[in-house]
Structure 1
Amino acid sequence: MTPLAKQDDTLAMLRDSLARYLDDHHGFEQRLHALAAADDAPPPFWQGLARDLDLLSAALPEAQGGLGLGLAAHLALMPTLGGALAAEPYLSTLVIGAGLLQRHPGAQADELLARVVAGQAVLAFAHDEPHSRHTRDDVRTQLAREPDGRLRLDGRKAVVRAAPWASHFIVTARSGCGEDGGLSLVVVPKAAPGVQLRGYPTHDGGRAADIVFEAVRLGSDALLGAEGGALPQIEQALDEATLAICAESIGVLRRLMRDTLDYVRQRKQFGVPISSFQVLQHRLADMHMALEQADARTAIAGETLATTQSPQARARAVSSAKVAVAKACRAVGQGAVQLHGGMGMTEELALGHYVRRATLIEGQFGPPAWHLRRVAQLQRQRRQQAPLSAGMR
C-alpha cells in the first residue's frame, strides 16, 4: 500500500469514527441541551473527542505524539463536524492554536500542546479588534518589554470565538512603538491578572467574547517565535482556518440539501409532491450546483496547500474557495428557507440552525468582497512581476 493510500484509509477511519460518535452523542436535542448548559466550560462532547476518540492529535507530527496527517486531517473531519453542527472549539484550538504552537516549538508550546491533545486545554485566537476590517496586519494591541525583561500586553480584541471556553489565548500584538513595529504572538492564560472578558452566545450556538488586556505581564517564554516577525505565520494560520470552515460548510450545506429534498418530496400541493414542479426542480438544481462548485474549489485549495510553499498561491486558492463557499451558503441557505416556508427559521426545526451557521460562515474570516479584492490584487502583482521575469531571462 502506498503512503498516500494509507493516509486516505486513516482519514476515512477517522471520519467514520467521528460520524458514529456524533450520531450516538450529538443529536439535535442533545446539542441544544449541551450548549445551553455550556457557559464558561467547553461542551461535554469536547472531552469525548479527546478521551473516547483520541482525535485531537490526528494532525500533529508523529514526533509530538500525533498521526502526522497535518491539514488533511482537519479538512477530512470538518465536514463531519459541520454536518452535526458541532460547536466544539475544534477550529480555534486545533486548526489555529495547535498549528501555531507546533510551528514554534519550545518548552511552553510543547507542554501546552500535550494538554490540548489530552483535552485539558482549549485555545482561542485573539486577533480581530473593534476597528479592524479583516486586514491581517491591522493590529493596535501593544506588546512592550519591561526593564526586568518581562512582557507587558495592552489592548482590546473583539468577537474572539470560543474565548469563554478557553484556558489560554494566543494573542496577536504589535511590538515596538506605534504602527511601525512588527506583529508578535504571545500565549496568555485566561486567568492572568489584567485579562477581562465579556462573553456572549453567537447566533450559531457557539460562544465568543470581547477581551481587554490591561497591563498584562507575561514571562519572556510566552512569546511564540521571533518578536515582531509573526505576520507570515498569522497569515498562514488564518488561511488554513478559512479553508477549514470552507470544508465545514460542505457538511452544513449537504445537510441543508438533504433536509430540503426530503421536505419537497413529502409536501404535497394539488395532490402531488411539490418536488414534481419544474420551477422547484430548477431551484434545487441551482442549489446543488453551487454546493458542488464550493466542494470542488475547497478540494482544489486543499491540494494547493499540500503541494506549494508559496504564500501567494496559498492566498489565491483559499480566497477563491471562500468566494465559492460564500455563494453556496447564500444559494443553499436561502433556497432551503424559501422551499420550507416560514417554518424554515423556527427554533424547533434543525434547518434554521444550519442556515444560521451557513450565514455566519459566509462572512467569517472575510466576506466575499474582501476575498475578491485579495485575489484581484494578487493577480495584478503576478502580471507586474511577469515582465520582469521575462526580461531577466
Structure 2
Amino acid sequence: MNFSFTEVQSMLRDSITKFVQDEYAFSVREKLAKTDLGFSVDNWQTFAELGWLSIPFAEEQGGFGGSVVDSMVLMEEFGKGLVLEPFIATVLLFGGALNHCGNRELMNSLIPSIIDGSLQGSVACFERQSRFDLSDVATKASKNAGSYILSGEKVIVYNGASADKIIVSARTSSDQFNDDGITLFLVDANASGIEKTSYRMMDGQMVANITFDNVAIEAVISTVGEGLTLLQKVVDETIVAVGGETMGVMEKLHSTTVEYSKTRKQFGVAIGSFQVLQHRMVDMFMACEQTRSLLYRAACSVTEGKDDAPQDVLALKTMIGRAGKLVGDHALQIHGGIGMTDELDVGHYVKRLMMINSFFGDADYSQQKFSELSLSGLSCAS
C-alpha cells in the first residue's frame, strides 16, 4: 500500500512530537495522573491555541477540516507520550457525534466552544449489563410535555466527571437488545437528577459512572430511534484514531526495549546479543508493522465510506488487541522485574495497551463480530 502523509500532516506530527518531548516528560505525566482532575487544564488550552482541537471539524465551524487520517496522525504522537488530556472523549466521541448529527444550529453552537477549549464533553453509551454491546440499552427516555426525560445508569463514561455536556444513548422504543429504538440525547452535565461517581482506570484515565433520574434533555442528537447508526459511525472513526495511538505506544515500547537490550548486561555481555531475545524484538517489530498495515487500510476504508469499512475496523481492533499483548508481554519480559515497577514508564505503556484493547470491544469480541459480519455478507451474496 502506497500511503504517504501530506506536508500539513507531517507538520502536525512534528509539532505534537516537539510538545511531547519538551512538555510531557514521563515524570510530568505521572504528576498529572495523580491529580483529582487527571489532566492539565493549561495543556488543554495549549491544544486549543495550537489548533489541535479543531482537526476533525469543518472550516465553517472554525475547524481545520481534517479527516480520520489527521486524527490518526495526532493520536500516534499522543500515544508516544501517554497523553492524558481528554481528546478522545471530547473531540473524537462527543465532537464526532455532533459532527454527524446534521443539526447545523447545534453544531454551530457547540463545536466552536470545543475548538477554543471552553467546552468539554463525553459520550455515555455503556451500561453494567451491556459489556461491549452498544445496542444493549436499558436507559429509558420518556416523552414529557413535547420533550424527553432520561432515567437510567451509564458506566465507564470517559471524561464524565469533567464534561460540561454529555451525549447519552437511551431507548425510546423496542426492547432492551434491539438495534432500533435507540436515540442520542444531549444533556447538561450539571442538570438536576444527575449523579456522578468518578474513578481512575489503571492507565490513569479518569472515568465516571453516571445515574440519570428524570433528567431533562437539551436536544435530540440523532433521528429518534436511529441513534445506533450514528453512534457506530463515530465509534468506527474513533477506533481508527485510537489505532494511531496504539502504534505510538507499541513503537515506543519497541524502541525502549531495543535500547535497554544494548545497555543491560548479563554474563558479561549485553542481553541484546542473545539470539532468543533478538527474535522476540523482531516479533515486536513485525507486530507493529502488521498493525500499521491494517490501520492504514481501515483509515482509507472509513475515509472513503467503503461498504467493508466496518469489517476493516473490526479487523484492526482485533489486531490491536493481539499485537498489543505481544508487544507488551515481550517488553516486560525483556526488561525483567524493573519493567513492572511504577518508577519505569514501560509498565505504564503496557497498561495503556491493555485499556485500549478493552476500548469498545476487546480482541475476542471484535473477532467474533468480524466473523458474524463476514458470514452475513456471504449469506447475502448467495
- Give TM-score, length-normalised by structure 1: 0.92
Q: How far apart are residue 42 of structure 1 and its match? A: 5.4
Q: How far apart are residue 98 of structure 1 and its match? A: 1.0
Where 2:156 maps in the other structure, the secondary structure is strand
Match of residue 320 from structure 1 = 315
**2-side partners of 1:315 and 1:195: how far apart?**
34
Q: How far apart are residue 308 of structure 1 and its match? A: 2.6
1:55 maps to amino acid: W
| Alignment pair present for 1:265 and 2:278 | no
**1-side partners of 2:82 and 2:30: how far apart?**
10
CA-to-aligned-CA distance 1:86-139 (integer Å, 9 cap, x gap): 011111111111111122223233211111001011111100000002112111
| Alignment pair present for 1:249 and 2:225 | no
| Alignment pair present for 1:141 and 2:112 | no
| Alignment pair present for 1:192 and 2:187 | no
Match of residue 391 from structure 1 = none
**2-side partners of 1:38 and 1:120: how far apart?**
19
| Kept in 2: contact 1:144–1:176 (CA 8 A) | no
Match of residue 390 from structure 1 = none
CA-to-aligned-CA distance 1:35-58 (integer Å, 9 cap, x gap): 22242775431121012x121112
Match of residue 343 from structure 2 = 348
| Aligned-residue CA RMSD (Å) | 1.7
Q: Where in structure 2 are there 5+ consecutive unaligned residues?
A: none
| Alignment pair present for 1:26 and 2:27 | no
Q: How far apart are residue 287 of structure 1 and its match? A: 1.3
Match of residue 210 from structure 1 = 209
**2-side partners of 1:263 and 1:47: how far apart?**
35
- Give TM-score, length-normalised by structure 2: 0.95
Q: How far apart are residue 187 of structure 1 and its match? A: 1.0
**1-side partners of 2:213 and 2:304: how far apart?**
42
Alignment of 1:1-393 (within 5 A): 8-39=6-37, 43-51=41-49, 53-104=50-101, 105-146=103-144, 148-176=145-173, 178-179=175-176, 182-219=181-218, 222-310=219-307, 313-387=308-382
CA-to-aligned-CA distance 1:288-307 (integer Å, 9 cap, x gap): 11111111111111111122
Residue 177 to residue 286, structure 1, CA distance change in 2 (3 Å): closer
CA-to-aligned-CA distance 1:346-366 (integer Å, 9 cap, x gap): 111111111110111122211
Q: How far apart are residue 74 of structure 1 and its match? A: 0.8
Residue 218 to residue 364, structure 1, CA distance change in 2 (3 Å): closer
Residue 264 to residue 40, structure 1, CA distance change in 2 (3 Å): closer
Residue 40 to residue 277, structure 1, CA distance change in 2 (3 Å): closer
Q: Where in structure 1 are there 5+ consecutive unaligned residues?
A: 388-393
| Kept in 2: contact 1:42–1:165 (CA 8 A) | no
Q: How far apart are residue 140 of structure 1 and its match? A: 0.9
| Kept in 1: contact 2:165–2:187 (CA 8 A) | yes
Residue-pair matches, total: 377
Q: How far apart are residue 225 of structure 1 and its match? A: 2.7
| Kept in 2: contact 1:287–1:332 (CA 8 A) | yes
Aligned-residue identity in percent: 31
